[in-house]
């Protein structure tokens, strides 16, 4: 039975698309058949992060409008066989997505794949509600920062009220993914700690992705960090998160401050 997973956050710029790409690759590497679906109509970027920007011919709206068959619009990843991408339209506006159209595409994708990973646009408008409506599971991407936590709380409320599952009296399984975490700053009381964010949002923790230069590097070259730098700390966090999504029980590894001498700590606290 295919699972529909929405990657969402409310706030923009926290790492939804990066996380969608990294988790999608990781799930595919676990042998799962995965399709990544970009819901950010007019501002698509998942194609760019996946390095497939020059291969987009048809998008989801073409499929909804009947201009193309779903199979023609799916872009098969060149690196991982079991991974595909369905792009968002860059030229239409977000009203081009209809409830019936989206439902039809999602149903068809459920038949072809094990995982349908929906990359939500920022905000709580139609694009975001379309992306979450069919979800069985949700990854709520949050930065340890006040506005991101507040917006995530709002999104959690919407997942509990504006989804198909909520309408049927069922739950969307929600998972918290904390990204851009700086353990040093958290230890010095300059940044919310993992346990602070967890306590405030009170949904299960899927993973903690440390702030890392590898993530920008991965975007630069169009190869998700789990593929381009699989042994880096963010990639390991994403790989473990994917294994948890896939049903494994693993303790969550919370990044710790690198231990140095007292001098190192004093110096570290000054430069930050």
Partner 1 sequence: MSLLSFFNRRNASAPVARERLQILLAHERTMNGTSDLAVILKEEILAVIAKHLTVDQDKVQVKLDRERDFSTLEIDIELPMVEVTRGR
Which parts of this chain interact with partner 1 (CB under 8 A)?
145-146, 149-150, 153-154, 157, 186, 188-193, 196, 200, 262, 265-266, 269
- Which one, 2 or 191, has the nearer CB to partner 1? 191
- Which one, 181 or 238, has the nearer CB to partner 1? 181
Start-to-end CA span in the chain (Å):
48
- Which one, 48 or 187, has the nearer CB to partner 1? 187
Four-residue CA torsion sign, 105, 110, 114, 117: positive
Q: How far apart are CA 174 and CA 55, in angstroms?
A: 33
Residue pair 83/45 in contact (Cβ under 8 Å)? The answer is: no
Distance of closest approach, residue 147 Cβ to partner 1, in angstroms? 10
- Which one, 55 or 150, has the nearer CB to partner 1? 150
Distance of closest approach, residue 154 Cβ to partner 1, in angstroms? 7
- Reduce the DSSP state of residue 167 to 3 states and report it: helix
Distance of closest approach, residue 30 Cβ to partner 1, in angstroms? 35
Distance of closest approach, residue 97 Cβ to partner 1, in angstroms? 25
Q: How far apart are CA 190 and CA 204, in angstroms?
A: 24
Distance of closest approach, residue 142 Cβ to partner 1, in angstroms? 11
Question: E strands within the chain?
Answer: 3-8, 34-38, 75-76, 83-86, 115-119, 137-142, 173-181, 205-210
């Amino acid at each position: 039975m295919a699972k529909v997973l929405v990657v969402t956050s409310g706030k923009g710029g926290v790492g939804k698309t990066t996380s969608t790409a990294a988790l999608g690759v990781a799930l595919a590497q676990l042998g799962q058949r995965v399709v990544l679906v970009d819901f950010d109509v007019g501002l698509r970027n998942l194609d760019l992060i996946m390095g497939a920007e020059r291969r987009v011919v048809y998008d989801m709206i073409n499929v909804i409008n009947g201009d193309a068959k779903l199979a023609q619009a799916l872009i098969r990843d060149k690196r991982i066989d079991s991974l595909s991408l369905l792009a968002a339209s860059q030229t239409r506006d977000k009203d081009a997505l209809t409830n019936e159209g989206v439902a039809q595409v999602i149903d068809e994708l459920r038949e072809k794949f094990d995982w349908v990973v929906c990359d939500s646009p920022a905000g709580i408008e139609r694009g975001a509600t379309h992306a979450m409506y069919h979800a069985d599971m949700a990854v709520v991407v949050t930065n340890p920062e006040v506005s991101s936590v507040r917006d995530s709380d709002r999104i959690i409320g919407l997942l509990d009220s504006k989804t198909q599952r909520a309408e049927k009296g069922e739950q969307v399984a929600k998972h918290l993914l904390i990204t851009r975490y700086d353990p040093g700053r958290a230890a010095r009381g300059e940044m919310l700690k993992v346990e602070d964010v967890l306590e405030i949002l009170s949904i299960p923790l899927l993973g903690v992705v440390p702030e890392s230069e590898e993530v920008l590097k991965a975007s630069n070259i169009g190869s998700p960090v789990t593929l381009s730098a699989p042994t880096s700390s963010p990639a390991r966090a994403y790989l473990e998160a994917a294994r948890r999504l896939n049903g494994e029980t693993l303790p969550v590894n919370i990044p710790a401050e690198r231990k140095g001498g007292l001098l190192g700590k004093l110096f570290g606290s000054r430069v930050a």
